[in-house]
Structure 1
């Protein structure tokens, strides 16, 4: 029964993560929602009239590595499922000129994820752990001149998750990576994106909540096609892409 299972969502203030909260609650899970912006999470819970007894809101900063072990030690219960949904994006042109933005992407999208997920994955006393899902991006599949700085952080995260999947296989813990294209979220607000390819957060969340055994999750048939084409495209043609 899911009513006794707990989902830990790291970066729970993202639009996709909030939809995951709604869908996991519907399935009867207990939720630990962790984010720097706990006020926004509490407002979301009130707005949606969610059962407070099923949700615990905690403060979590992916950039504060030194706090991660203590954060994990003080969890009200050890999780069955873990979602890493924290993300940060700076447009490529700005990232090339401003290393602070680049560094923040590295920290939130990769370093912070590795820091907390290493702690969770190496806790062999947690017999509950069943699954870890990391939210990556199609930007990390191949380096493209329009977004390779951001993409490199997602590529690193995807590679980490692939290895973590092998590491945890003997403990029957499943690791998945969500490779998403354009999502209609606040992180993408203001970007000039193809509206025909935009996915809604609840649609993406459904693929996370219903994750199976395959490592890679690519929501939407159009994005699946783009993903496979990108994987096999010769370097000369990739260089001509925006």
Structure 2
């Protein structure tokens, strides 16, 4: 299993979380503070472009260039481990890091853009960010600290029947990095179990999309809502 850090973490802010569910960010900070996770939020950080990228508004080069800029900010802040609250940010950043490390043409183009803009300090050096060991989902950080979370539980949910649903962009994009498997994902199940909550485990639609599918959400809204239903 990949090594999951609890310090030197850049808590990556996300457009969807901040706009639609801001309580996710405040709750994450609250939990991190309680369980001893050292993190930093940087105002210089920009959007990952995920929503626009999957809607074909941002091409891969632009998305990867912005990721390179965010990687520089993480390193400059002394918080080289990046934790995202959004599974789309997670998938986007990992793919961008992989491209920057493995595709010389992409890396040289982006570094050329930085150079021409007078931003030589942001130029990316191959291997600066390890997609597997530098970029994490917040749920992974919490999973790693689940024994520290358990004593903090104040509400008994044991009488509820709870089904977990894992995000596609966490489970289905970078299979080898997914904690808890992809055929029957159980990262959230195990995290809940540590908090005294038993889930129903497997059910027929556990791996089915939530229906969002960004492009579908806007162009085929009725279909998207039907899948969600």
TM-score (norm 1): 0.34
More strand by share: 1
- State the structure with more CA Rg: 2
